[in-house]
């Protein structure tokens, strides 16, 4: 399960600040929505169900973008698998 690092600050506007290194990032609205779900301790499958229900997107397309996005979160050390 992917876990966001505890000290990461995320604003309502999608501005992300990693205080351990002073780096900041911006999320688009869907990115912010996914990060909020990760923050609420939702699993990958739960997040998938929620997004598929809310948006007009097929399973394969979602997974492709989700893997890419979560890979980026891990790469920037904002989240890690637990």
Is 22 a residue that touches another protein (CB under 8 A)?
yes
The b/e string for 44-79 (b: 16+ C-beta within 10 A; e otherwise) is eeebbeebeeeeeeeeeeeeeebeeebeebeeeebb
23 vs 46 by CB, closer to another protein:
23
Which residue among 5, 14, 17, 66 contacts another protein (CB under 8 A)?
17
20 vs 45 by CB, closer to another protein:
20
Q: Is 44 helix (H, G, I), strand (E, B) or coil?
A: helix
**Contact footprint for another protein (CB under 8 A):** 7, 9, 17, 19-23
């Amino acid at each position: 399960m992917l876990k966001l690092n505890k000290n990461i600050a995320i604003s309502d506007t999608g501005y992300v600040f990693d205080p351990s290194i002073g780096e900041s990032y911006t999320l688009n609205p869907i990115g912010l929505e996914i990060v909020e779900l990760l923050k609420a301790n939702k699993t990958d499958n739960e997040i998938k169900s929620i997004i598929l229900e809310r948006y007009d997107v097929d399973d394969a397309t979602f997974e492709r973008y989700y893997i890419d996005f979560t890979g980026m979160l891990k790469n920037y050390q904002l989240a890690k698998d637990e």
